[in-house]
Amino acid sequence: MKTEPTAHSSDVSHIAPREKAEILSQALPYIRKFHGKTIVIKYGGNAMTDPELQRDFAEDVVLLKLVGLNPVVVHGGGPQIEGLLGKLGKKGEFIQGMRVTDEETMNVVEWVLAGEVQQDVVGLINAAGGKAVGLTGRDGGMIRAKKLKVQDKDDPSKEHDIGQVGDIVSIDPSVVKALQDDQFIPVVSPIGFGEHNESYNINADVVAAKLATVLQAEKLLMLTNIRGVLDKQGELLTELTPKRIDELVADGTISGGMIPKIAGAIDAAKSGVNAVHIIDGRVPHAMLLEILSDQAYGTMIKSH
């Protein structure tokens, strides 16, 4: 069972060399265990907007690659899309929490995700000493998608058309595998394409979960702006199973925006991903500490 840490600090200059050696030796069993394994990381939230946390994230990804793991990054970009739409004077319209994406909005989404945000992430990883390559779902025919049908929450017989928002039909991971084998770190924008070559904006959590499944990843890490899944008393639940999650949804402990995130996590866990971690992206180097130590910086969901 992982234990929740009491203090957070990214500065290691105060740590004596002997203690540093001890930390490294504690990481060794985890490095051995996960060597050669794929780790899919959903990158979003504060970790994506705070410059210091951006650097920490990039360093973690590069270090994981250096010690023999195979990280694949899937990024979001909601706030950045919202920002540009605002500058263009286009008001975002939402139905049941989902952005209505007409053709003009889709052009902005592609420009932000596949352009600005993706290149920022690639640049950060490269600056930290890695070799990142940006991809969208179009590259290598990776993410085939279809229009997402949104059922009305009050009248299930009614469906809403929210434009070019996509549901995944299939993922062909061969381009990702080819890059991994060549020592590159793939950075994936959550954009898919339809049968008539139209573009679709897809939820990044969903893309990360599905990609982790098809790559048979050892772990799926989801960086969020919260500590993880909390119980009714606000205490961190460090480990969960699908059965326990059903109970927590039923009694209202898990609600709102956490439900789709958890649904993707459970699907991945049930489909062969060994563990899914919902991690507090506001903690410096949380990802590294979650993977390479017995400290819990979030909630781990196991398949059973």
Tokens standing for 302?
A: 């196991």
Closest CA to 63 of 125, 143, 134: 125
Please list, in sequence order, all residues whose beta carbon lies within 8 angstroms of the beta carbon of residue 180, skipping any fewer than 6 positions away: 38, 70, 72, 186
CB 93 within 8 A of CB 162: no
Number of CB atoms found within 10 A of residue 40's CB: 30
Please list, in sequence order, all residues whose beta carbon lies within 8 angstroms of the beta carbon of residue 170, skipping any fewer than 6 positions away: 144
**106: region left, alpha or beta (phi > 0 left; psi from -120 to 50 alpha):** alpha
Q: Say if residue 70 carries a ligand binding annotation.
A: no
CB 136 within 8 A of CB 70: no
C-alpha to C-alpha distance for 277 and 114, rounded to whole angstroms: 26
Q: Say if residue 123 carries a ligand binding annotation.
A: no
Q: Say if residue 192 carries a ligand binding annotation.
A: no
Q: Say if residue 197 carries a ligand binding annotation.
A: no
Question: From the annotation, which residues make up the binding site?
Answer: 77-78, 99, 201
Question: From the annotation, which residues make up the binding site for substrate?
Answer: 77-78, 99, 201
